[in-house]
Amino acid sequence: MTGEDADDLIDAAADETIRECLDLAAPRSFFLYAGAGSGKTRSLVQAVRDLCERQGRQLALTGQKIAIITYTNAARDEIVQRLEFDPRVDVSTIHAFAWSLIRGYDGDIRKWLDANLVAEIAELEQKQAKGRAGKAAIERAQSIESKTRRREGLREITRFIYSPTGDNRTRDSLNHAEVIAMTAVFLNTKPGLRRLLFARYPILLIDESQDTARRLMDALLDVQAAFPAQFCLGLFGDTMQRIYADGKVGLAEAIPEAWARPRKAMNHRCPKRVIALINKIRADDDKQDQQPRSDSPEGTVRLFLAPETVANKRGVEAAAATRMAELTGDEDWLPGRNGVKTLALEHLMSARRFGFEHFFGPLYAYEPMRTGLLDGTGRGLGFFTRELLPLAIALAAGDRFAIAAAIRQTSPLLDRQRLAEAGEKQQEELARAKAACDGLKSLLLAENPPTLRAVLRYVAATELFVIPDVLQPFVPEGPTDAAAAEPEEDASTEAGAWRRALDAPFPDIEKYDRYVRGVSQFDTHQGVKGREFPRVMVVISDDEARGFLFSYGKLMGTKDKTKTDLENEAAGNDTSIDRTRRLFYVTCSRAEESLAIVYYSDNPVLASTALLERGWFADDEIEVIAA
């Protein structure tokens, strides 16, 4: 047997455990630890294939299916294709799966929405009573009015709708957060829905389980605990790769003793040196070491230290890339080659480097919106990225077919029923749509790019697209005096966040869209999870992070833990060190060949000493770049 063949058998025991657990006659739930590059998806697909070969006929006869929840549409499509579109397996994202369970519970949905809207309106009214007059007060009043209208219209809706890939903006539609919240509540309170779940899906497999919304994960764990002989829950993931704030903290500790805990030890992606580094990174957490393949290259890792106060950070990063080209002999490291994937440990750093901070920053500061902002599904985002942006690109290119396609899809001006009702005046409606597009083109191509607010108001005035409820408060003209706003609310309310974000120039939207889709030189932690790149540059800076959520100084050993850190540790809660370690692990583990880490430290000498003492880097792997 060759070394490569032996590598493939290292994790055979874990795969066999999963195979034994997936038995319709005697199911056993499990949590598979699968670190970076471990071949988690391959194990999942092979286990499902094997189950379908053994017990597929039983599934077909009973009408039951195996359910697989993935984190992204791309991951869903990959698994569906690997399973050759097997009709006995339902593969979906978490939002689509949740909706498949509660769809049709229209009376219960109405009651839940009514109670939720009452609570939201009460909170806004309380702030309105305490707040002062000004722009914020006007926008709060408009939000109260919008939510009140929605509540009053609930009784007229006979059937609610939802699209996991759409923006769900019609009166009868639900948003992403509502669907997840309702599913968790209904699973906890409706015995019939619980029985429906395991009657339809006796086996449910969840990929990236560490990032599944905690309330929904808790509800699924409760169902499994109540019906262990009828419902098999299989969790695939790695708690070190939890990167969403709403993922379940302490998932591994919440797994019952009766569950199987298979573990995959092999890293098939990274070179030996990178694997040694990421093992060190997680050593202080769970000590889950991985081993490299026998045919894995040695690889190159370098830490470049620079003062936090250096003015030209782009210059520092270019110098680091040039040095990596010298060390590796790989010219694709050279600046301008676009061969390097740059990953910042804090999204604002990427937004600043890629040029969309003005739009991104205020929305990212509003914590409840972060998850939706980072995967592009947050309320109001699709209006800009999936409606306005395609039309703007088509208008700039003068592509008539693309222009027509962009407005025909969702514009009320070309709504089929509206055109039918126009009768002989259809030509006037088409001319109106053309005039609206021509005006938008003039606005977008002006010498000074318009703000998002200006574009929003133009679209509302021309009825080019339907304005989502969350953006309705910003359509009317209001006070423009900055002092009339209440800046303390900007980071604590959705309206405050959008108010500031809409001041951004429209070109920010294209840069943001490319970022969240993972097609820019920079990327999100969410976008790169499960992916790999030959050359990776990780950029870290406490000063640029500007917050208490992360601390590279504490992780690297140059800063002491705070009282809050110690209290969180004692309570078993996340600390800034925990969050930073996870993001550092995820980004470093993307590298297939070579890895550069650029660390802006307020004390480079102390950072170098601390990291040498920890054994994360050798002396010749640390270089200082002065400017």
- The answer to whether 104 is a known ligand-binding residue is no
Bridge partners for 207 per DSSP: none
**pLDDT tens-digit map of 129-139:** 887 777 778 77
- The answer to whether 40 is a known ligand-binding residue is yes
Q: For residues 301 and 247, which has the higher predicted lDDT (pLDDT)?
A: 301
Q: What is the SS3 assignment for 143-168? A: HHHHHHHHHHHHHHCCCCECCCCCCC
Looking at every residue in the chain, the average pLDDT score rounds to 87
Q: Which residue from 457, 493, 409 is spatially nearest to 143, judged by alpha carbons?
A: 493
Provide the residue ranges of all domains of the chain, joining segments of one domain with +: 3-97+186-268, 106-159, 273-345+525-624, 357-516
The amino acid at residue 25 is A
Q: Which residue from 518, 476, 473, 480 is spatially nearest to 497, judged by alpha carbons?
A: 473
Q: Structure tokens of 573?
A: 């809660």
| pLDDT (average), residues 529-543 | 84
- Place 484 in a pLDDT band, splitting at 50, 70 and 90: very low
For tokens 């569906």, the residue is 80
Q: Structure tokens of 160?
A: 């609610």
| pLDDT (average), residues 198-207 | 95
CA 312 from chain center: how many Å? 30
- Place 169 in a pLDDT band, splitting at 50, 70 and 90: low
Q: Which of 188-192, 448-452, 623-627 has the lowest mean pLDDT?
A: 623-627
Q: Structure tokens of 349?
A: 């750093």
Q: Structure tokens of 565?
A: 């850190």
Q: What is the dihedral of CA 376, 382, 387, 389, to 10 degrees?
A: -40
Q: Say whether pTM exceeds 0.85.
A: no
Phi, psi of 579 (to 5 degrees): -65, -40
- Place 456 in a pLDDT band, splitting at 50, 70 and 90: very high
Q: Structure tokens of 616?
A: 């994360």
Q: For residues 271 and 578, which has the higher predicted lDDT (pLDDT)?
A: 271
Most confident of 173-187, 339-353, 410-424, 487-501: 173-187
| pLDDT (average), residues 465-494 | 67
**pLDDT tens-digit map of 367-422:** 778 777 877 878 889 899 999 999 999 999 999 899 988 888 888 888 777 777 77
- Place 588 in a pLDDT band, splitting at 50, 70 and 90: very high
**pLDDT tens-digit map of 213-236:** 889 999 999 999 999 999 999 999
For position 209, what pLDDT does the model report?
A: 85
Q: Which of 61-65, 434-438, 453-457, 488-492 has the lowest mean pLDDT?
A: 488-492
CATH of domain 273-345+525-624: 3.40.50
- The answer to whether 41 is a known ligand-binding residue is yes
Within 10 A of 347 (CB to CB), how many other CB atoms are there? 23
**pLDDT tens-digit map of 97-134:** 999 999 999 999 999 999 999 999 998 888 888 877 77
For position 546, what pLDDT does the model report?
A: 60
For tokens 């010219």, the residue is 331
Please report, in angstroms and rounded to a whole number, the separation of the first and last CA atoms in the chain: 52
CA 296 from chain center: how many Å? 31
Which residues 6+ apart lie within 8 Å of 527 measured at CB? 515, 516, 517, 518
| pLDDT (average), residues 533-552 | 80
| pLDDT (average), residues 278-282 | 93
- Alpha carbons 82 and 63: distance in angstroms, whole number: 22
**pLDDT tens-digit map of 54-100:** 999 999 899 999 999 987 777 888 899 999 999 999 999 898 999 99
Q: Which residue from 194, 512, 517 is spatially nearest to 356, judged by alpha carbons?
A: 512
- Place 530 in a pLDDT band, splitting at 50, 70 and 90: low
- Place 525 in a pLDDT band, splitting at 50, 70 and 90: very low
For position 485, what pLDDT does the model report?
A: 47
Q: Structure tokens of 551?
A: 């601390």
Which residues 6+ apart lie within 8 Å of 600 measured at CB? 306, 307, 308, 310, 313, 316, 539, 540, 541, 542, 543, 544
Which residues 6+ apart lie within 8 Å of 318 measured at CB? 335
**Residue 376, H or E segment:** none
Residue 182: helix, strand or coil by DSSP? helix
- Alpha carbons 236 and 222: distance in angstroms, whole number: 18
Pairing of strands 300-307, 341-344: unpaired
For position 617, what pLDDT does the model report?
A: 95
Task: Give yes or no for residue 433 having a pLDDT over 50.
Answer: yes
| pLDDT (average), residues 238-244 | 80
> Do the domains spanning 3-97+186-268 and 273-345+525-624 agree at the CATH topology level?
yes
Judge whether 248 and 214 are in contact, CB under 8 Å.
yes
- Place 510 in a pLDDT band, splitting at 50, 70 and 90: very high
- The answer to whether 38 is a known ligand-binding residue is yes
For position 483, what pLDDT does the model report?
A: 40
CATH superfamily of 3-97+186-268: P-loop containing nucleotide triphosphate hydrolases (3.40.50.300)
